[in-house]
Amino acid sequence: MNEMVEISIPKLFKEAPDSVSFKKLRKRLLRQTQDVIDKYKLVDRYAVKSGQAKRPKWLICLSGGKDSYGLLAVLLDLQWQGALPVDLLACNLDQGQPGFPKHILPDWLTSLGVPHRIEYQDTYSIVTEKVPENKTFCALCSRLRRGILYRIAREEGCDAIVLGHHRDDALETFMLNLVHGARLAAMPPKLLNDEGDVFVLRPLIGSAESDLQKFSDALNFPIIPCNLCGSQDGLQRQAMKKMLDEWEQRKPGTRQIMAKALTTVRPSHLHDERVFDFAGLLAGQKGESDDGVPF
């Protein structure tokens, strides 16, 4: 077991509440993350442990927000318990934002003994120069950041970059694509990049944002707000989030039902001939139920 991780876990949870509710929260996040890892084969832990596959190395992308802190904490916890046979390297990309507190993340990671890399690339100047006034920075900022992270992953010998997106992020992305992009797509738990050499993994994709907020509050993570895009009003994603909040208030459990829908797709009941062969559907073949389809 990684000695540095053995040091970090007791320190990480040293100030955590000794309450039943927190213990249940921690266990729930661990279980949900392990379920995603196993279901989507983010790593074949049995093959790695038996020596049939090499031990992977993951680049954990740490922004300074609650989600990425939660991601790192949960993965370190699983690794410490022997349930995640993966080497972890935390990485923060300092994008040159004015007033960015450069010391917080390296100090925090060093205090826990977590292997890490801090990369400085001034994407802030590029984004603010290229994006017209009153337009959001997110799309360009994300593309620039992702390209840099791919490069770092290759330099560090990492098999994957690992992101802290959760269930609610996936649902908001699905609604954005539906309403604005005219397509049915969300955030995949596992994706191979265009070059075919680096995976993009989202182990928290089955976890609720509200749980990650409670987890962050309980562990008192040193949160660094994103003032680049967070200061802009009227973001489309925020509009989707507000709409989902309203639906959840009217019918509690709506988010979880929608998340289940992302794992229960019926291609024959959609309209994309690329994923279902409508032309090849002939009488006399085995049919299927039309339950739930109104006439």
Extents of the domains making up the chain: 3-263
Q: Residue 28: how many CB atoms within 10 A of its CB?
A: 14
Per-residue model confidence (pLDDT) at position 108:
94
**Closest by CA position to 221, among listed 69, 94, 90, 86:** 69
pTM exceeding the 0.95 threshold for the entire prediction:
no
Q: Is 257 left (phi over 0), alpha (psi -120 to 50) or beta?
A: alpha
**Can you tell me the distance from the alpha carbon of 229 to that of 120, in angstroms, rounded to the nearest whole number?**
19
Per-residue model confidence (pLDDT) at position 234:
43
Tokens of 28: 């729930």
**Closest by CA position to 161, among listed 74, 40, 56:** 56
One of 3.40.50.620, 3.40.630.10, 3.40.50.720, 3.40.50.700 is the CATH number of 3-263, namely 3.40.50.620
Question: Across the 295 residues of the chain, what is the mean pLDDT of every consecutive 10-residue run?
Answer: 53 90 97 97 93 96 95 95 95 83 92 93 75 67 85 97 97 95 96 95 98 96 73 68 96 97 93 93 83 59
